[in-house]
Amino acid sequence: MKKMLILSTLLLTLSLIFTGCNTTGIYNVKQHKVSGQKSSANVYRAINAAGTSLGWRISKVKPGVAQGKIALRDHMAVVRIDYSNSYYAIRYIRSQNLKYDPNKGTIHKNYNGWIHNLENAIDSHL
């Protein structure tokens, strides 16, 4: 009986620990340097091409600012992409069905994967 109680307690503790593991801190790209001589128009074209290749809809908001939106199944994320001839930055704006918690600054871990993929694709297009 004592072994069952210990085992039950252990299983309950582990389930509580792993319940929140599908969320993590939000990853924002801050001042990612652009290598080489590029115009801000070239940087925007690279951002647009990279995003489009990954299923993002990229639109220019104003010079130096773009917005990216991705919708997969019933999940959606919107990011702001600031850019110039020397850097770009990607910042979370809003999401749907991604377990975003503004108090903790956490979101579903898949979001961070999408941002890392976008960052890597932008770099490869630059």
57-66 pLDDT per residue, tens: 999 999 999 9
Q: Which residues pair with 92 in a beta bridge?
A: 79
User: Higher confidence at residue 38 or residue 13?
Assistant: 38
Q: State the CATH number of the domain containing residue 50.
A: 3.30.310.80
- Distance in angstroms between the alpha carbons of the first and the last residue of the chain: 64
In a domain, 3, yes or no: no
In a domain, 72, yes or no: yes
State the pLDDT at residue 15. Answer: 41
Mean local confidence (pLDDT), 47-66: 98
In a domain, 5, yes or no: no
Range of the domain at 55: 23-125
In a domain, 7, yes or no: no
In a domain, 98, yes or no: yes
In a domain, 11, yes or no: no
Number of domains forming the structure of the chain: 1
Which amino acid does the sequence have at 114? W
How far are the Cα atoms of 43, 67, 117 from residue 47, in angstroms, in the given order? 6, 10, 12
In a domain, 41, yes or no: yes
Q: Report pLDDT digits (tens) over 71-97.
A: 999 999 999 999 999 999 999 999 999
In a domain, 6, yes or no: no
- Is the Cβ–Cβ distance between 41 and 108 less than 8 Å? no
Q: How confident is the model at residue 13 (pLDDT cuts 50, 70, 90)?
A: very low
